[in-house]
Structure 1
Amino acid sequence: MDREHEGTTHAHHAEMEEEAPEKGQQYKEQVKETSQHAEHRPGLHTHAMADFRQRFIVSTILTIPILLLSATIQSALGFTLVFPGSDLLLFLLATAVYFYGGYPFLTGIVEELRIRLPGMMTLIAVAITVAYVYSSAALFGIVGGEGFFWELATLIDIMLLGHWIEMRSVLGASRALEELVRVMPSEAHRLQNGSIEDVAVEALRVGDRVRIRPGEKVPVDGVVVDGASTVNEAMLTGESTPVSKGPGDNVTGGSINGEGSLVAEVKKTGKETYLAQVVELVRKAQESRSRAQDLANRAAFYLVVIALSVGLITLIAWLLLGQGLGFAIERAATVMVIACPHALGLAVPLVVAVSTALAAQSGLLIRERQAFERAKDVQAVVFDKTGTLTEGRFGVTDLLPLGAIADPLEVLRLTASLEANSEHPIARGIVRSAEEKGLNLVPVSGFHAIPGKGIEGYADDAFLKVVSPGYLKEVGTEPADERVEQLKQQGKTVVFLLRDDTPIGVVALADIIRGESREAIARLKEMGIRPMMLTGDNRYVAKWVADDLGLDAYFAEVLPHEKAEKIKEVQAQYRVAMVGDGVNDAPALVQADVGIAIGAGTDVAVESADIVLVQNDPRDVADIILLSRKTYRKMGRPGAHPGGRRYLHERQYGHRRHQCEDALPALISNAAAHPLLHTPRSRRRTGITFGRRGRALRGSPHSPGDRPRTARCFVWW
């Protein structure tokens, strides 16, 4: 950033700091760094956004009389405006636009030449300088021909407008993060010695307790120690549904408390907070240079060299063909202007800034830009099972009545009534399933644990047991039921409900598959990506999950230290993204082409991951890959054919009519496919009609009339 721009940026943030002085220096520094303009080539943006806007407005106002005084415009519109001193006025107006409006480009070329890296500014500056010098010489009779001050002025206007819009977009992306910091409250209600005192947020320390009243914003990252409420975390994770919070639950600074009152203990302050980490991650991602950006910069350099060379060749060629100096200079300048690849250099930093800010607002945090770039080429996604595709907790999947009981829910009700007295994970899963179904549990008396085998007690006027298959084998009462064997082969955990030592029901449990997982897998397949799974579970469980979700492949019974080797095997065929929790899967995340940590919550500093997904939603994997594809598709569009944006050929009707007609065949192959050329307006303007497959049916220009006049033959695509 140059000093002028830097000063403007600092002034902007000084104003913000005056509005909210209590927000804490750590946040101000984060935003100040993040909100600065995305990195551009030196000299590309040497002025602040307000300066570009002012120069554009002034230059546009001056361009209006320039257009009215230009012979070409008068001829095209059929009027004449000539008075004593009109030529001098035209020259003075054009001079003002050239020096005032063209100042950023004229100073930009100096900077680019100083570092020996000519770029877009060099090409623009050369083009407008050639146009200005030639038009001035033609106006005062030094060279023959007609000047084109109006083209010079409109070119400068367009370039100023483009840079202003681009700068607004980039700064707007940074302001999106700035808004995250603005939502932080300036004060907190600290509890101390039984009383409440209002203190600045930056005065809080780890271990302090704060009161969060209904409707207030949470001032800190902490854990709830008292109270119950719902908290809206939409501004942090993008999830609009309020989340229930109670003792032991984490709360994040900036989220909005609901109708209840909470007491939270401070766990993180300063740069350790979730919000500060998000801002820092996005700032680094926006500053990091991707491979596409390096390629764009190199391409811009070579395009500048080519454009200048072709412009010089054009000048020499027309002179050798016997045309006048004015005719040759005008075409040389035109070639240099229309070949300008400025969009190529502007697109990359603009899209980088917008994509990272957009992702952060949705809970998709990009830590490594080159990995984000690689995500667009991912061919296979390997998921960890537990906690990623599944919920990581037991849930009831099957209920089988046996013997006297016919109602599956009665099996669940009695089993849950007995298990309500146990803290075993299987017991909690059974009780939770019964509560979700709204079943009323019955009281239990005489509860006892059968060590390693199950539990027993009296309920519903009967002696009940909930036991493992091993217990039934020992006592010799295991039922011969094919359905039970099928459940075991699927890798599910099976428990039996006994009444008076007789099996009356079976409850099967498994790690619950997330409801979002099926949609996530389906979306990846629609995108042409192969979904796979990696798990340490046995092959029966892995097969059941893979079949249920429709995975293309799975790897079972893989130990944590073996996961990286499995990723290597998949990489022999595909470009791979690994999705895991960032802890047990760290080696595999590092080995993969793209490592994605899912369900990070407020722990966004997962060192082993390239991309961090805040929410535990596997659908976000498809979102981040799709965002990568769209981001780099946007980057590529401006550079596809910078010289094909416009073809402009000036000619004289009459004896030089063939010059425009002879140029048309060279354009048809590139232009015919563009849909804009198949509209009635385009056919009227170009005099070209295209048939099926873009074939030109006729290419004759408009009737020349009786007298030679200056006109143009346009083809746009």
Structure 2
Amino acid sequence: MENHNHHDHSHDEHHNHEEHSGHSHHEHHKMMVEDFKWRFWWVLGLTIPILALSPMIQEFLNVEWRFTGDTWILAALSSVVYFFGGWPFLSGLIDELKKKQPGMMTLIALAITVAYVYSTAVVFGFDGHLLYWELSTLVGIMLLGHWVEMRSVMSASAALEKLAELLPGKAHRVNEDGSTEEVPLEDLQKGDKVLIKPGEKIPADGVVVKGESSVNEAMLTGESKPVSKSTDDEVIGGAVNGEGSLTIEINKTGDDSFLSQVMNLVRQAQDSKSKTQDLANRAAFWLTIVALTAGALTFMAWSLFTGQDLSFTMNRTVTVMIIACPHALGLAIPLVVSVSTSLAATNGFLIRNRVAFEQARKLQAVIFDKTGTLTEGTFTVTDILNFNDKFSDDEILKYAASLETNSEHPIAKGILEKAGEGVQEPDEFNSITGKGIEGKVDGKAVKVVSPGFVRENDFDYPKEQVEDISSQGKTVVFVVVDDELCGAIALGDKIRETSRNAIKKLHEMGLEVVMLTGDNQQTAEYVAKELDIDQVFAEVLPDEKADKVKEVQGQGKLVAMTGDGVNDAPALAQADIGIAIGAGSDVAVETGDVVLVKNNPEDVVNLIKLSKATYSKMVQNLAWATGYNVIAIPLAAGVLYTWGVILSPAVGAVLMSASTVIVAINARLLKMGD
């Protein structure tokens, strides 16, 4: 066990590591959300006078607000709505047509263009109805839908910014004469020697040339225990130094460093993720075809076979084209997204990537990182071994805890937590380099030492009992009082109670559960056996985690990865759904498609249930939104004209509003699922 009298040193962590591709993408995303919001409020403001000035609305409300030039004012206001409010859809139409993938943007742009061009023709003398009010309400509702939708969609690139922030901004470079100077990180060269003080972050990958310490690499490698470092040991940039000072010689900087490689893995995995078109886009694609076909058929049927005048024919065609673009479809998905996002948040998880979240209903395997996810990630005293009954278990624990009072080491914290109140300060205290600590407690000479120290000094103890406990992946420290070995304290990474329930429920849902860990095979197998896990990958290096996810995906399964460390970030990004444990590192949180706020694996079960419930609500809403069209389009086209039934644009609008209201109410009825 390492010397662990830890002092916390605050240090400057301000830096400039944001000049990477992720940053600009993140900013662009934020700007787009603001853009939709800004356009929406403008259009809403203009829609009020447009509705008031529209003859059809006045007729509907049975009022007469006509005055000279009112039509020109109406046309001017509507032009602003069309060109300014409609711009995202018009530019989206061009993008979709370039990609030969007509979708929602094409459908909206088509409907607003038809309404605008037709109404403008009426202003200039064409015989027909002004449909500017249709144009403005359609643009307003579509902007609102896209704004709501985009706010709930995450920008995964923020993960790369968080990774860069793990590195300190400056480093203490050691000069030839032994003096140190503070230099910016980017000035470090391969071969430079750097001093790392207690509590500081390691600025770059390197090899220890002087000093001894324990280093916390948990955020990078997933190894739960702090790792002892002395001369010739390698250290990773971004890890946190413990209680000793280290001088390292840098052997990797910039793109070669471990952290840069993790960032590249995250970037690659994010880029290679399939950009699944969501449901609404598929519906919009078919509705575009339906709208164009119905419009063309309506125009041809009335002009070729009935001899109706152009005004009547155009009116029918335009009504069909506008009705084919339902307001309800624009809101069908965003409203469900909005409700499910807030419902998820109140239940302790945040949805950051909607497409991935919707996929959760189809999951076949869930991979869990062990440390900090299935386990607590903190050391807890699990056993106290008493070798000679000279002291009670409590006394052994109290002696050890008294020595550990001043330490910040995770093992010390575990012992102190178990000992509780009434622990006294030691009279004397000293560290035994790399082997443990010693001091005077109640006039007795007490040592808390590692198995190595016990072996070197040929102490006699029940080896089988200790080996049995070690085989469960536990850390054992020995307590020596007045040069006599009295007992040992075993500490383990405690398995969360909620992990058992979560895995049981996942099995009931027919999912396979896989565990992934950087820990040794013994520890991994012990935890897997305890939790009834189907498949285990142990001793997995950080850059191999994403490969293991690929391996499970290669079995033809849709895979979710649940983890909390930086080392999990590439794996989270590689998985079909990345589920980040919120109490873990910021980076994992930023890479996750879904973030579990409460460190509770059972939330993975709730997430899958909510995904299923959300999907079925979306399908119901799309059925309402498009079902309305199935009835309204033929009526608008005039199939029942012979019987005197014809759908005027005004009645079409009422029907459209009704379907929008139904969709909105249905979305609000979303529940977590059974």
The TM tier, using the shorter chain, reads 0.5 to 0.7
What residue is the counterpart of 2:16 in the other structure?
A: 23
- Would the alpha carbon gap of residues 274 and 303 (structure 1) be closer, same or farther in structure 2, given more than 3 Å must change? farther
- Would the alpha carbon gap of residues 394 and 229 (structure 1) be closer, same or farther in structure 2, given more than 3 Å must change? closer
Deviation at 1:277, TM superposition (A): 4.9
CA deviation profile, 1:337-369 (whole Å, cap 9, x unmatched): 207856799899999xx99xx9xxx99999xx9
Look up the equivalent residue of 1:23 and give its one-letter code.
N
What residue is the counterpart of 1:524 in the other structure?
A: 503
The question of 1:514 aligning with 2:493 is answered yes
Candidates 645, 665, 672, aligned match of 1:676:
665
What residue is the counterpart of 1:466 in the other structure?
A: 461
Alignment length (residue pairs): 561
Candidates 157, 162, 171, aligned match of 1:188:
171
The question of 1:199 aligning with 2:199 is answered no
- Would the alpha carbon gap of residues 581 and 245 (structure 1) be closer, same or farther in structure 2, given more than 3 Å must change? closer
What residue is the counterpart of 1:153 in the other structure?
A: 136
- Residue pair 1:132, 1:149 contacting (<8 A) in 2 also: yes
Matches for 1:381-396 after TM superposition, within 5 Å: none
Candidates 112, 117, 123, aligned match of 2:107:
123
Deviation at 1:633, TM superposition (A): 7.0
What residue is the counterpart of 2:430 in the other structure?
A: none
Matches for 1:160-239 after TM superposition, within 5 Å: 160-163=143-146, 174=157, 178=161, 181=164, 186-192=169-175, 193-206=177-190, 208-210=192-194, 219-220=203-204
What residue is the counterpart of 2:383 in the other structure?
A: 397
Aligned-residue sequence identity (percent) comes to 30
How far apart, CA to CA, are the structure 2 residues paired with 1:155 and 1:109? 16
Deviation at 1:70, TM superposition (A): 1.1
SS in 2 for 1:72: helix
Deviation at 1:316, TM superposition (A): 7.5
The question of 1:641 aligning with 2:621 is answered yes
- Residue pair 2:290, 2:324 contacting (<8 A) in 1 also: no
What residue is the counterpart of 2:364 in the other structure?
A: 378
Look up the equivalent residue of 2:93 and give its one-letter code.
I
Matches for 1:701-716 after TM superposition, within 5 Å: none
- Would the alpha carbon gap of residues 123 and 658 (structure 1) be closer, same or farther in structure 2, given more than 3 Å must change? closer
| Bigger Cα Rg | 1
Q: CA RMSD in A?
A: 7.1
Deviation at 1:98, TM superposition (A): 2.6
Deviation at 1:127, TM superposition (A): 0.8
Deviation at 1:130, TM superposition (A): 2.0
SS in 1 for 2:173: strand
Look up the equivalent residue of 2:461 and give its one-letter code.
V
Give unpaired runs (5+ residues) of structure 2: 1-12, 401-410, 425-440, 480-484, 589-595, 637-642, 669-674
- Would the alpha carbon gap of residues 278 and 396 (structure 1) be closer, same or farther in structure 2, given more than 3 Å must change? closer
Normalised by the length of structure 1, the TM-score is: 0.54
- Residue pair 2:168, 2:201 contacting (<8 A) in 1 also: yes
- Would the alpha carbon gap of residues 150 and 488 (structure 1) be closer, same or farther in structure 2, given more than 3 Å must change? closer
- Residue pair 1:220, 1:253 contacting (<8 A) in 2 also: yes
Deviation at 1:515, TM superposition (A): 1.9
Look up the equivalent residue of 1:200 and give its one-letter code.
P
What residue is the counterpart of 2:51 in the other structure?
A: 67
- Residue pair 1:307, 1:336 contacting (<8 A) in 2 also: yes
- Residue pair 1:455, 1:466 contacting (<8 A) in 2 also: no
Matches for 1:143-542 after TM superposition, within 5 Å: 143-144=127-128, 146-163=129-146, 174=157, 178=161, 181=164, 186-192=169-175, 193-206=177-190, 208-210=192-194, 219-220=203-204, 253=238, 265=248, 266=250, 269-273=253-257, 276-277=260-261, 279-290=263-274, 292-293=276-277, 298=282, 300-310=284-294, 324-325=312-313, 328-329=316-317, 331-338=319-326, 373=359, 377-378=363-364, 397=383, 399=385, 407-408=392-393, 437=419, 465-468=460-463, 514-526=493-505, 528=508
SS in 2 for 1:80: coil
How far apart, CA to CA, are the structure 1 residues paired with 2:226 and 2:116? 68
Greater Cα offset, 164-173 or 513-522 = 164-173
How far apart, CA to CA, are the structure 2 residues paired with 1:371 and 1:106? 29
Deviation at 1:149, TM superposition (A): 0.9
Deviation at 1:96, TM superposition (A): 4.0
What residue is the counterpart of 1:92 in the other structure?
A: 76
How far apart, CA to CA, are the structure 2 residues paired with 1:493 and 1:217? 25
Matches for 1:608-627 after TM superposition, within 5 Å: 610=575
How far apart, CA to CA, are the structure 2 residues paired with 1:632 and 1:272? 43
Look up the equivalent residue of 1:466 and give its one-letter code.
Y
How far apart, CA to CA, are the structure 1 residues paired with 2:351 and 2:262? 10
Deviation at 1:630, TM superposition (A): 5.7
How far apart, CA to CA, are the structure 1 residues paired with 2:195 and 2:456? 44
Matches for 1:583-622 after TM superposition, within 5 Å: 583=541, 591-592=551-552, 593=557, 594=559, 602=567, 610=575
Look up the equivalent residue of 2:19 and give its one-letter code.
K
Look up the equivalent residue of 2:185 and give its one-letter code.
V
SS in 1 for 2:101: coil
How far apart, CA to CA, are the structure 2 residues paired with 1:279 and 1:490? 34
CA deviation profile, 1:588-611 (whole Å, cap 9, x unmatched): 765434485968655866799846
- Would the alpha carbon gap of residues 641 and 195 (structure 1) be closer, same or farther in structure 2, given more than 3 Å must change? same
- Would the alpha carbon gap of residues 306 and 79 (structure 1) be closer, same or farther in structure 2, given more than 3 Å must change? closer
Look up the equivalent residue of 1:328 and give its one-letter code.
R
Greater Cα offset, 434-443 or 588-597 = 434-443
- Would the alpha carbon gap of residues 626 and 278 (structure 1) be closer, same or farther in structure 2, given more than 3 Å must change? farther
- Residue pair 1:492, 1:541 contacting (<8 A) in 2 also: yes
- Would the alpha carbon gap of residues 95 and 544 (structure 1) be closer, same or farther in structure 2, given more than 3 Å must change? closer
Greater Cα offset, 318-327 or 187-196 = 318-327
- Residue pair 1:400, 1:506 contacting (<8 A) in 2 also: yes
SS in 2 for 1:514: strand
CA deviation profile, 1:145-189 (whole Å, cap 9, x unmatched): x32211112222333444456556668664575466578665433
- Residue pair 2:58, 2:65 contacting (<8 A) in 1 also: yes
How far apart, CA to CA, are the structure 1 residues paired with 2:515 and 2:68? 85
